[in-house]
Amino acid sequence: MAYHELLIKLMEGIADASVRADIVTAFSYMVEAYRSGRIDDDRLRRDLKELCLDVLAVKYPIKDVEELRGEAEAWAEKLYRVVKALTVRERTFIRSGLRE
C-alpha cells in the first residue's frame, strides 16, 4: 500500500478536518526529517509508533492506551517500510544523477 493510502486508512473515522490536517502535517514533518537525514531509522520507528498511537487514541477514545499499542506498532511498521522504500529509491536516483 502506498504512503498516502496508509495515512488515509489510518485516519478513517476521524471527521474533524483540522485534526486530519494536523496528523498529515506531523507525519510529513517526520518523513521529511528522515529523508533529509536529520533522524535515523530507530528515531523514525519510535516517532511513527508514538504518532500512530496518538492517532488511534483519537479514533478510539474509550480504548485503553495499552490496548492500542499493538495496533500502533503494526501501523508504524507498515509506514516505516513504505517511507524507507521511498527514501532509498529517491537517494538512488539522486546518486545516479537521474534526479537533482
The model's pLDDT over 70-99, given as tens digits with 9 standing for 90+, comes to 999 999 999 999 999 888 777 676 667 655
Q: What is the pLDDT of residue 86?
A: 83
Segment 6-20, tens digit of pLDDT = 999 999 999 999 999
d(C-alpha 59, C-alpha 15), whole Å: 9
Q: How far, CA to CA in Å, does 60 sit from each of 29, 45, 73?
A: 24, 22, 16
Q: What is the pLDDT of residue 55?
A: 97
Segment 45-67, tens digit of pLDDT = 999 999 999 999 999 999 999 99
For cell 521511498, name the residue.
86
The cell numbers describing 100, all together, are 537533482
